[in-house]
């Protein structure tokens, strides 16, 4: 798919500016994960486009207080909780030096508006809501404090400032907490689509790449796999990853009599991980909740569909029936696993789903994520400059508009920095207008004289994949 030339949300729009990123950890922290990868990949692209980027982040054992990684200046200080006090002091001392701030919330916000000039554009990035995790990880009094800080406390301090959520699920969870300002969806990028996919294993094989931590519920996966393995001959499970749950899970596998069917590979280099994924028939997720299914999309890049429980985040990363299957309850998982393996035993089904998976994974690039987060920052800057009620111009409704673009028309006159454009063929374009319903979208297209206008609400798949992808409805065009 070709994207139209427009500079509305190009990272180059931030060139010469100094952006501050507040994050719990940096990419080299021993516990860095998807949230750190997300912000690091986008920061790298900003630096490459002439943006000065500084991170305030926690300091792991053995890490220097200052560092430069991929052109990003890293200032470290404090542990999991004291980082917030250290960051507050840094903002009070030098907050006026920054042109924009990306405030990454990891359950406990940095509350940056309290320590920065009112005129500074601030965008929160939220991967997932932690309300339930607070209940499972902390004592009741501490959990109550955490829930308050993430909800009522954050709403009071941040007000109507924009939020970036990584999935429609996370946006919905934030709305349930009462956040009423603009919430932009900016999905994660993923690995490059491998040009070739290895021949899959002769035996039915499930490969799962995951940190071995409680909320991934891999004990549930093992229990359901133990049921499925009785029906599917030679069914195998490869678990790739490490974590505090490893010894318990290994003991559970032994207790279930899965010694010969399950292999714990531990942490592996990318090449080994990719080899194991590439030969798999299926991947799986029994996680309780996620902001987004990074491992699901990485498996899809190798043509591997996913069987998962329908929970926030994961349900967004699986296109049901096309890139995998979703079940509503854990008790349904074993039977669904059996059905999925039997379906994938048919070469035609496996081939079609592999192609769909790779097409879906190809929608998620870090360049696109960088453009969308840039757009969110520029839009917040505009709202701050022009004033007014952000809720009046931004809703959660988005519209896919397809039309013939007149030769003399300038798309930039109707675009917002958060919009996306794809060229379908010739002068026929597909525009994802974020935060606008069909009436607003039609009025915008009419202003530039668009012809043959087709409008439809943008569902979650379109919002995630962008305009013009195979997962966004596109009308047939003559000669296309």
Q: Which residues contact 199 (CB under 8 A, 6 or more apart)?
A: 279
Residue 389 lies in a domain: no
| 5 within a domain of the structure (yes/no) | no
DSSP conformation class of 192: P
**Secondary structure class of 345 (helix, strand, coil):** coil
User: The domain containing residue 429 runs over which residues?
Assistant: 397-480
Residues 213, 351, single domain; the answer is yes
The closest of 325, 267, 276, 328 to 299, measured between CA atoms, is 276
* Alpha helix positions (H), 49-109: 82-94
Whether 371 maps to a domain, the answer reads: no
Pick the last residue of a domain from 185, 217, 243. Answer: 185
269 occurs within a structural domain: yes
Tally of domains in the chain: 3
pLDDT band at 3 (very low <50, low <70, confident <90, very high): very low
Q: Mean pLDDT score of the chain, rounded to an integer?
A: 91
pLDDT (tens digit per residue) in 393-430? 678 999 999 999 998 888 888 899 999 999 888 889 99
Report whether 119 contacts 96 (CB < 8 A).
no
**What pLDDT sits at residue 413?**
87
Does the residue 191 lie in any domain? no
> What is the CATH classification number for the domain harbouring 128?
3.40.50.2000
Say what the pTM is: 0.92
pLDDT digits (tens, 9 = 90+) for 49-96: 999 999 999 999 999 999 999 999 999 999 988 999 999 999 999 989
Overall average pLDDT of the 200-205 stretch:
94
Per-residue DSSP letter, 237: E
């Amino acid at each position: 798919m070709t994207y139209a030339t427009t500079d509305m949300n190009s990272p180059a729009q931030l060139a010469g500016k100094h952006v501050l990123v507040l994050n719990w950890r940096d990419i080299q922290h021993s516990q860095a994960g998807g949230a750190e990868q997300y912000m690091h990949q986008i920061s790298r692209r900003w630096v490459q486009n002439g943006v000065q980027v500084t991170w305030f982040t926690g300091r792991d054992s053995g890490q220097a207080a200052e560092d430069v990684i991929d052109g990003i200046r890293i200032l470290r200080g404090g542990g999991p909780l004291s980082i917030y006090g250290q960051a507050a002091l840094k903002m009070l001392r030098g907050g006026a030096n920054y042109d924009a701030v990306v405030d990454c919330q990891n359950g406990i916000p940095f509350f940056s508006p309290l320590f920065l000039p009112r005129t500074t554009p601030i965008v929160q990035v939220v991967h997932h809501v932690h309300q339930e995790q607070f209940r499972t990880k902390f004592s009741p009094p501490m959990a109550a404090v955490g829930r308050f800080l993430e909800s009522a406390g954050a709403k009071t301090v941040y007000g109507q400032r924009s939020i970036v959520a990584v999935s429609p699920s996370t946006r919905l969870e934030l709305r349930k907490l009462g956040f009423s300002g603009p919430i932009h969806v900016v999905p994660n990028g993923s690995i490059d689509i491998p040009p070739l996919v290895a021949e899959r294993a002769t035996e039915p094989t499930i490969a799962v790449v995951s940190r071995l931590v409680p909320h991934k519920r891999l004990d549930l996966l093992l229990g359901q796999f133990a049921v499925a393995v009785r029906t599917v001959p030679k069914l195998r499970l490869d678990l790739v990853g490490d974590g505090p749950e490893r010894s318990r899970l290994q003991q559970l596998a032994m207790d279930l009599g899965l010694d010969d069917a399950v292999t714990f590979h531990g942490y592996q280099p990318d090449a080994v991980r990719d080899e194991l994924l590439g030969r798999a028939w299926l991947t799986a997720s029994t996680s309780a909740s996620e902001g987004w299914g990074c491992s699901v999309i990485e498996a899809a890049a190798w043509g591997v569909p996913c069987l998962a429980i329908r929970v926030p985040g994961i349900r967004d990363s699986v296109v049901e029936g096309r890139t995998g299957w979703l079940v509503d309850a854990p008790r349904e998982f074993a039977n669904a696993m059996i059905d999925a393996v039997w379906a994938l035993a048919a070469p035609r089904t496996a081939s079609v789903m592999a192609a769909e998976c790779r097409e879906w994974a190809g929608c998620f690039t870090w360049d696109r994520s960088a453009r969308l987060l840039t757009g969110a920052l520029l839009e917040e800057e505009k709202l701050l400059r022009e004033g007014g009620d952000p809720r009046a111009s931004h809703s959660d409704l988005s519209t896919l508009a397809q039309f013939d673009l007149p030769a003399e028309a300038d798309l930039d006159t109707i675009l917002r920095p958060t919009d996306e454009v794809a060229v379908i063929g010739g002068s026929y374009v597909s525009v994802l207008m974020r935060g606008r319903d069909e009436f607003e979208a039609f009025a915008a297209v009419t202003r530039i004289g668009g012809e043959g206008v087709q409008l439809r609400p943008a569902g979650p798949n379109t919002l995630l994949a962008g305009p013009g992808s195979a997962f966004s409805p596109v009308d047939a065009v003559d000669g296309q």
